[in-house]
Structure 1
């Protein structure tokens, strides 16, 4: 199955129960609200110390970018308005004290921003990987708000439950003390080994990019780059948005981590989103299969390929039955 790029999955035509839409919000206009610039620097997974075997399982060898602009001043103002309205719906989990997931069901502005073809094409170009807006709506436009307790980290050291995403400041990072976004310039295997040994992360490898203002972002291969958000050192307001993508090349192993998502999102919603995601992935993989079958094929080889599709369905069933039974994974506060 090569040379096939998956087609988008339509956004659900009905919101889950309890996700009422905002009554009044701005209308997204990419011509006015986007101001996408290109990062000066793009680092690779090799720069972080990953092996060729690790990289081969990824859709791109890109790791993280330098800071670049995404939103115009007007776009920032609109997103700040929406984020303020959504703040009443914050939830918490073992990693994050206050966040809003599923905001794309409540806010049409947020949904249209995350689904913007201009934005998706730019992220594809920067990452070196054809992308689509994430097929799990809860992985689009995720908003993190600072804890009400000064000094408590916004998020712990972790890797993401998706492959490609950007972290963008909604509020002005220069208006608060602390709240830095940081990433570790090493492998997740290294971090895991350090944590298991009870050792601190190497401070020389911790990078805190200097954010020049709101509407600026870092793009990363989130499941490979260990990162966190520090707490504020004085009272203030800090909001970031994380927007996720899936590779259009669906031959790479999936990295949706339903076992983790079912612990932080409403179980019924998380299960339905995951089922739609896997059904989409299976549909696209079967379409790629249909396009590639030839009369010169070998029966056993074809059988092996179809056995992989059957395995995907069986593993998905097992994941759904085990929803909510795992533990939330992270590397702590360092």
Structure 2
């Protein structure tokens, strides 16, 4: 029998709550505040392009495996945008992972609290860290990510939610730090594990292998609830975040840190899944308005225009061959 965060027993219910919708989502947007940052990040290592591993061939699932029809998916340029999940796999060298971990550990001092999706996190980390900024705009890195998914990707033009670092400390009862059941506003989401599973208890990545519109009423015993075994330091998992409900079980002891990166396919820009209120629920209304207008502004050449906005090289279809 599962127990919710308030301690009430609910037969068969999911252990973790689902994110707010409707009026409650608007309420979160009104309360959200801009992250604090004083610009005094301690010295960090330099990003190197050779931190990226080559010839990554992770196991994959397609969105059709989640119940979506091919006709519902983005398509163009001879490609169907159908990758639902890829990995876990190693994307960075051991030295690259250790360097990223050191940077994210230092940024924990700027972590804010939230009741919307993830309890404690840093948003907009690439705006704070030159290492992270250079990493996610490195051509080798973007090519590796693009090849995992099968579509050209660049850093998301919405800067604040592009890089989020999640921090979980082992706690009990109502003070547990959680990632609720949710789907992302972003389509292309990569998570890099920054602790080995031997360092903590709990903290399991769960996902619902079904359509998002079939999630309501799902119970803990539903066979469609799966786990992605991200146990190793540096384990990297891609999910098509907007098409998949997912959550992280509470860490009951130890410490778990994850680096979450949202990328963007400029060729499918008109089909981007972001909604205003989903973004505002994390960042607040005033912070979201200028970002939202920037994302939705009409473009004549999306691949070039969005690459310039993101400050990154343009990745093309021919690069994926």
**What TM-score do the two structures reach when normalised by structure 1?**
0.72
Matched, 1:215 2:234: yes
Equivalent-residue separation in structure 2 for 1:286 and 1:114 (angstroms): 17
Partner SS, residue 25 of structure 1: coil
* 2:109 is equivalent to residue 85 of structure 1: no
- Aligned Cα root-mean-square deviation (Å): 2.6
Which residue is 1:70 aligned to? Answer: 91
| Aligned match of 1:238 | 256
SS at match of 1:242: strand
The answer to whether the aligner puts 1:132 opposite 2:154 as a matched pair is yes
Match of 2:288 in 1: 270
Give the SS at the match of 2:157: coil
Contact 2:181/2:245 (8 A) holds in 1: yes
* Preserved CA contact (<8 Å) 1:114 1:140: no
| 3-state SS, counterpart of residue 259 of structure 2 | strand
Where is the strand percentage greater, Structure 1 or Structure 2? 2
CA distance in 1, matches of 2:304, 2:153: 18
Equivalence for 1:145 = 167
Aligned residue among 170, 184, 193 for 1:160 = 184
CA drift of 1:134 comes to: 0.9
Would the aligned equivalents of 2:156 and 2:264 in 1 still touch at CA under 8 Å? yes
User: What are the within-5 Å matches in structure 2 for residues 273-288 of structure 1?
Assistant: 273-279=291-297, 281-284=298-301
Contact 1:98–1:147 (CA under 8 A) maintained in structure 2: no
Contact 1:36 1:69 in 2 (8 A): no
1:106: Cα distance to partner?
0.9
1:8-87 pair list within 5 angstroms: 18=37, 20=39, 22-31=41-50, 33-36=51-54, 38-56=56-74, 60-87=81-108
1:256 counterpart residue number: 274
Measure how far apart 1:25 and its partner are. 1.1
SS of corresponding position for 2:56: coil
Q: Secondary structure at the match of 1:233?
A: strand
Structure label with greater radius of gyration: 1
Q: 1:185–1:206: 8 Å Cα contact kept in structure 2?
A: yes
Distance 2:75 2:177 in 1: 31
Contact 1:69–1:216 (Cα < 8 Å) also in 2? yes
Kept in 1, the 8 Å contact 2:52–2:91? The answer is yes
**Structure 1 portions without partners, runs of 5+:** 1-15, 289-334
Gap regions ≥5 residues in structure 2: 1-34, 306-321
Q: After TM superposition, where is structure 1 displaced by more than 3 Å over at least 4 residues in a row?
A: 16-19, 56-59, 266-269, 281-288
